[in-house]
Structure 1
Amino acid sequence: MQQRKPIYTKWWFWLIIVLIVGSVSNLNKDRSTTPTATNVESSKNETKAASETASNATDSKKDAASKTEKAKAEGVVAQDVESFRKAFNKASEALGAKFTVKSLKVEGSGFQHQLTDSIYLNGFVNKETGAIKELLIMGAGDGTPQSGANLILSFGALIGATNPDLETSESGEIFEELGLMESNVDLYKLNKSAERNGIVYTIKSSKETGIWFMAQNASVK
């Protein structure tokens, strides 16, 4: 039987990265409509409701950012498993990904959750505080375009969960710094890091292990 070629050696895998980075940059663009004379009052009510929703969203974002800043100061990537789970789901939804993590069961020093048939989310937890010290996504794909998209989306969701204040364009810059956009990149020897707001993102790959994407506090040596 012919051995299936690893997903990250296929040309469309890198095309997917470009497409996703482009779509991510458009996620938060505002949409405007022009009210007519017959719906002015309705428009006012909708504007008020939208304003309240935006205010709640801003408060939620500030709360998430506050928790993230506290985690960074404590030398971890997330204060606790539950807050990370919610942040990861929120980041996944924003990207249009279908990664709904209903629960994360900590066993021993961490947890492992299967996002898809070929992608796993791992977390290493401080037993005393419950804080997450490091996060790791492991994936190899199954040779289909969808699995390639899922792999990149999982990376983006992890970035969004650990850096909620990050501009969408900066997520694309992280992919660039990790060497994923280089034309002559050696796909079997990826080993680069990029730091944003006290969180270091590292990507590694090999024929044996597939691709690993890690998030770790910059203060951890």
Structure 2
Amino acid sequence: MLQSLSGDERLLAADILGCHLLHAATGLPASTAIDILDQLTSPQFTGAGGLSAPTWLVLAQCVHELAGRPDIPHDQLSRITRRFGHRAPALDTGGDPLTRLLCLLTEAQTSTMWHATDHPPGQAALTEASTLLERLPHPRPPQAVIGLLRLARDLGADDWLAQHAEPLLKTLTPDGLQRLRPTDIDWLQPLVRDATLLDELNLITRRWRQK
């Protein structure tokens, strides 16, 4: 059906279908969910400008949700997952820095997706992500800042974190800092010297771990 539409109509229809798939991902029959995702991410569809980058981000989140279902045929899901990554054609249609960064961070949420999307080695992936963040105006979305810090941690970029963690955390509001988990604080706290920021981080830990 989508192939019969053109231009903005197809972009809108794909966006609606992608959002529905994300919200229904846990309840749809496995074969139906995989079939919809397969069609929406097919090279014939995405290569023809049939998807926008924001819709691609939604579909990346769908992959993440479906990966947790034991009834999903994971050989088929793995084949679909390999279509993602920083070279995906859909990212060229409205792929602003924030959408590109959030796609990358979504792919970093599981080892399965990170490996399947064939990201470059650690430092190159971190450079790509930090460059995208630098292109965002202030105030930056806290999920983007915190996601970048977690990515750096996963990549073992200790030197980068020693230089950048505190300045990035200081760009967040107290509400933004509340998106951190106490396990984040455990490795971020030794990198912070600012007394006010340390108080905010300690407060998060106390609220989680108070006896």
Q: What TM-score do you get using the length of structure 2 for normalisation?
A: 0.27
Higher relative contact order (CA 8 A, sep 6+): 1
Normalized per residue, the structure richer in strand is 1
* Higher share in helix: 2
